Amino acid sequence: MGYYKMKKIAFLLIILIVAVAGWGSMIVVYASSSHAASLPPTPTSVPSVPTPHTRTIVDNPATVAPTVKNDVVAQGSSTLPEVALTFDDGPSMYTPQVLNILQENSVHATFFCVGEWVQYYPNYVQQEYSAGNVVANHTWNHPDLTTLSSVDVQTQISRTSTLIQQTIGVQPTLFRPPYGAINDSVKAQAAQMNLTPILWSIDTEDWTRPGSDAIVNAVLSQVGNGDVILMHDGGGDRSQTVAALPRIILGLQQRGLKLVTMPQLIQDMNS
């Protein structure tokens, strides 16, 4: 009788050991799968390209001291029938449309590019240059340079010039301070980097989106020899500017005015 009891107990012990071992395996497996499920997915680093509406630039013009303004290029020769179209705050999704209009009319313009947008749309800047237009410096992210330290001014300008050169293979020679805000210190910084500061004589105020008719009228109602016309291909919704551009070009040509780049305007003025 004792023998059978012992055998039965041994058999039950074996069953118990097997059951405990199996239960332990289930716990391990469950814990592992639960832990794996709770892990966050591996993030995918994909830089998002902002749209022109991400940061709209309110381009209110600054007041510039007459002594400084008179020493900065804002107009060409009053005796030569030529004007310069200039575009600020790009490149953006509107830049290809502007380039197509310029090409269709066989004219060239000067593009004052913001460095952070050159970084996102380098191909548009390359298209500007390859089509015979001039690519110029409009700082890295469009600050009022007169409020910055000399070191920060230099960084804003030099960083942009470096990127432009890397993008098109040519160092820019022209520079437009955002808002037209310039003083003796900013002018000196630009001179150290061999950049000529450029302002304007006609502000279309197209950044306010007054309607394409108003943009056209802002140019054609006051244009004359040597004018530097300020428009925008970036910094916000520029659909009105695109719509106005063909009419502006036609109106200028009908007045016998030749459309040239800023370097050409400066060269003709100096000669």
Q: What residues are annotated to the active site? A: 88, 232
**Residue 124 CA, distance from chain mean position:** 10
Nearest to 112 by CA among 157, 60, 55, 61: 157
Which amino acid type is present at position 51? T
E strand residue ranges, the chain: 82-90, 110-113, 134-137, 174-175, 196-197, 202-203, 228-232, 258-260
DSSP summary character for residue 208: G
Q: Please tell me whether the peptide bond between 178 and the residue prior to it is cis, using omega within 30 degrees of 0.
A: no
Q: How far apart are CA 259 and CA 249, in angstroms?
A: 8
Which amino acid type is present at position 155? T
DSSP summary character for residue 207: G
Q: How far apart are CA 135 and CA 70, in angstroms?
A: 24
In Å, how far are 61, 101, 128 from 97, measured between CA atoms?
Answer: 26, 6, 11
